[in-house]
Structure 1
Amino acid sequence: MKVRKIVTIVEETCAEGGREVSPAARVAVVAAVIENPWAGQGFVEDLQPGIEQNASPLGALIAPQVLEALGAPAEAYGKAAVVGLDGEVEHGSALIHTLKFGDHFRKAAGATTLLPAVEKRGPAGVVFDIPLKHVTDATIRSHHQTIEVRLADAPHPGELVIALAAAAQGRPQQRLAPLSTER
């Protein structure tokens, strides 16, 4: 795995809807910009060797960093893969949609739910939204949220941006009734 850089973003929302949020709602993102292991090879039928070589080390690298940046237990989490223009969306999916990657984050966060994801292809500076859901119960509406991310110089055409996000709480000022109230 060839890492060009790691970017950490921490967002704190101190007011929402004209009201103070106390404590501030905190969301953290850690994004690794890596060389696409399948770049320049044309269509690769078997992605498994690249998955075996990269997915677990990548998850082990960034999962603890996003939780450290959050500075609190994660209540919601999500993941993203953005593929440079010389790659396929499947390249990003191959790395993030495997337990070899996701279980590092699940274990570190004490999570039991599926890790929501987004994947797309785009040029350097493309904006992507990481979806987040509750770490143990995906039906908890208050924790369904997103964080918008943009890295000005990534991904290069032969790179991938692989990102994890965690929130210390649900949406600021959330007030929707629980899903269980709808019948």
Structure 2
Amino acid sequence: MKVRKIITIVDETLIEGGREVSPSARTAVVAAIIDNPWAGQGFVDDLSAGIDAVASDLGALLAPRVIEALGAPLEAYGKAAIIGLNGEIEHGSAIIHTLKFGDHFRKAANASTLLPAVEKRGPAGVAFDIPLKHFTDATIRSHHQSFEVRIADAPHPDEILIALAGAAQGRPQQRLAALSTEL
């Protein structure tokens, strides 16, 4: 696996809706820009060799960095694969939709739910939203949120941007009733 760069973003919201957020709402994203393991090969029927070469090592690289950058106990999480224009959506999906990748984050966060995800193909600098859900109960509505990311120089046409995101809380100032009130 060849990593061109790693980007860490930490967002801290102190005021939302004109009111103080206490404690502040923290979200962290760590993204790695890697060479697409299937670049230049045309259509590849069996993606398993590339998955084996990349997924576990990438999960092991990113997961602890998100936990560290967040600086607080994780309550919500998500993932993203943004594929350069010469790749296929399936290339990013192959990496992030495997337990070899996601279990590193679940274990680091003591989580039990599946990671919500976004996959998208685009040019360098394309904006994308990483969906986040509660880390143990995907029905907790306060933690349904997204975080917008844009990396100016990534992905290049033969690269994939893989990102993990974590939040220390649900949406700041959330006021929706629990899902159980509508059932």
Deviations 1:119-139 (A, max 9, x none): 000000000000000000000
User: TM-score, with normalisation over the residues of structure 1?
Assistant: 0.99
Partner of 1:136: 136
CA displacement at 1:10 relative to structure 2: 0.2
Residues in 1 aligned to 2:164 and 2:154: alpha-carbon distance in whole angstroms: 16
Query: What's the CA shift string for 1:97-150, capped at 9, x where partnerless?
Result: 000000000000000001000000000000000000000000000000000000
Q: What is the CA-CA distance between 1:23 and the residue it aligns to? A: 1.1
Structure 2 counterpart of 1:12, one-letter code: E
Tell me the distance in 1 between the aligned counterparts of 2:81 and 2:131. Answer: 12
Q: Which amino acid aligns with 2:65?
A: Q
Q: Distance in 2 between matches of 1:22 and 1:140?
A: 20
Give the secondary structure class of the aligned counterpart of 1:85.
coil
> Which letter does structure 2 place at the counterpart of 1:35?
D
Unaligned runs of 5+ in 2: none
SS in 1 for 2:65: helix
Give the % identical residues: 80
Instruction: Detail structure 1 runs of 4+ shifted over 6 Å in the superposition.
Output: none
SS at match of 2:157: coil
Instruction: Give, in whole Å, the separation in 1 of the partners of 2:66 and 2:121.
Output: 23
Distance (Å, rounded) in 1 between the aligned partners of 2:59 and 2:38: 18
Whole-angstrom CA distance in 1 between matches of 2:73 and 2:103: 17
CA distance in 2, matches of 1:122, 1:34: 15
Establish whether residue 35 from structure 1 lines up as the match of residue 35 from structure 2: yes
Q: Paired residue for 2:163?
A: 163
Cα distance in 2 for partners of 1:14, 1:89 equals: 36
The Cα RMSD (Å) is 0.4
Residue segments in structure 1 that go unaligned for 5+ positions in a row:
none
